[in-house]
Amino acid sequence: MAERQAVIGSRVGLHARPAAIFAEAAAEAPVEVTIALEGEPAEDALDASSILSLMGLGAEYGTTVVLRAEGEGAEAALDELAKVLETDHDSE
């Protein structure tokens, strides 16, 4: 299983617009991706393509999250998704 850590870069955290952008990118990934706050057990991870799950995560600016995926293309997908999370979408 591939795993990546990412730090939330949007000043408003993983809410509304940043969550929608990330959920769309996760849905387009060739593998199923989960997300969890750093330190939470892998079995408590949420569906990264669900905007409601993302907003319910409560990840604020500077929070470290863990992305996980399994299968062909998982490493590359997680690299791209980590970049999305680390971008401040509110400054664009």
| Catalytic residue of the set 6, 8, 14, 15 | 15
Please tell me the distance from the alpha carbon of residue 35 to that of residue 44, in angstroms, as a whole number: 9
For the question of residue 15 being annotated catalytic, the response is yes
Catalytic residues: 15
